[in-house]
Structures are given as structure tokens and as C-alpha cells.
Amino acid sequence: MKEPDEKKIAALVKKLLVELGEDPERDGLKRTPLRVAKSLAFLTRGYRQNLKAVVNNAKFASGTNHMVILKDIELYSLCEHHMLPFYGRCAIGYISKGKVLGVSKLARIVDMFARRLQIQERLTEEIADAVMEESGAEGVGVVIRAKHLCMMMRGVEKQNSEMTTSAVLGSFRSDEKVRSEFLSLIR
């Protein structure tokens, strides 16, 4: 996907400011359209990334097939319904079959999918599918806990609500003991 045209986005933001009753030429807003355009390009950069490039062949031979877990991976995304942020933490676990992924690649996979307009449910599934595809794991588990500003600052205005989603594949789905071990280790 091509880079967004920041000048076009800035022009749209300027029109939006006018529609909201603001003067885009006043001191505090003169550079806002371009700042918003740059911000949106950054916050949606996941559209311009692909899984193979993100993982960059950081797969390493491993003689074990034990559970590998990385938790408390911060994530920041924009909900596709209101384009307001949601943020939280992700835990990823997998049981390797002869190879492991570089640990930073797990966090980069989370970022690649989070930096798109999203719903948390799909984000969780996309991360699990990507880890399974790239690691060739026996099983994968992903849990995301996040707060959604679309619920906190508008709509029902519930500041303390937190959404939890999970996706389990392979042995994490078929073996209750594996799933239970994963869930107990990420608590």
C-alpha cells in the first residue's frame, strides 16, 4: 500500500475544522491539519507493513517444544467505528516445533496489526494467525486486555470498563491443560 498523501489529508482536516465551527487560520490551529495528517499516517502504518518483512527471517532453531510466552506488550490502536484510540496489553504464548521467533518480532507483529483501524476481536485473531503462520507452532494463544476511549469519553462513558479478548489455535484450543497453563502464566 502506498504512503498516504499528507497534503490531501491536511486539506480534509482543515475542512473538518471549519465544519466543527473552528477557524483553521487561528494561531493554535494553523499547523494542526498537517500535524493530524502526520499523526494519522503514523497511527495507520500497519497497512503499509507485511508479515514477512516484519519477522525478517528472525526464526531460530530450538530443540525444545516448551511454551514460550511474552506478556505485557503495550498496544495502541484506533477503533474502526469512531477512529478513537483503544489501548492495552497483549500476551502471546506458543509451543514451538523446532523453531522460535525472535522475541522482538512478537511485539512487532502486535504493532503491525494494531496500527490499522481495528476492532479488538479481529486484532486478537490476526496476531494469533500471524504467530502460528510464522512460527509453525504446535499451538498459539493470544489475550488482549484493552480500554476503549469510544466507551470512556463518549457513548456510555464508562471509564473503568476493560475488554478482554482471546484467540487460541492448535494445541491451545484442543488441549485444556495447555490452555490452562497459558492462562495461569499470563495472570
Active-site pick, 81, 90, 138, 176 = 81
Q: What DSSP element (H or E) covers 170?
A: strand 163-170
**Conformation bin of residue 75: beta by default, left when phi > 0, alpha when psi is -120 to 50:** beta
| 79 catalytic residue (yes or no) | yes
Supply the DSSP symbol for 158. Answer: -
Tell me the H-state helices in 20-119: 32-43, 51-55, 103-114
| 82 catalytic residue (yes or no) | yes
| 176 catalytic residue (yes or no) | no
Active-site pick, 90, 118, 120, 134 = 120
| 49 catalytic residue (yes or no) | no
Active-site pick, 22, 125, 133, 150 = 150
Q: Which three cell numbers stand for residue 90?
A: 497483549
Positive or negative CA dihedral for 133, 136, 141, 147? negative
| 81 catalytic residue (yes or no) | yes
Asked if residues 75 and 91 have their Cβ atoms less than 8 Å apart, the reply is no
| 66 catalytic residue (yes or no) | no
Active-site pick, 6, 22, 49, 82 = 82
Which residue reads 465551527 in cell numbers?
A: 21
Active-site pick, 25, 74, 80, 121 = 80
Q: Which three cell numbers stand for residue 158?
A: 464508562
Supply the DSSP symbol for 37. Answer: H
Q: Among all residues, which ones are annotated catalytic? A: 79-82, 120, 148, 150
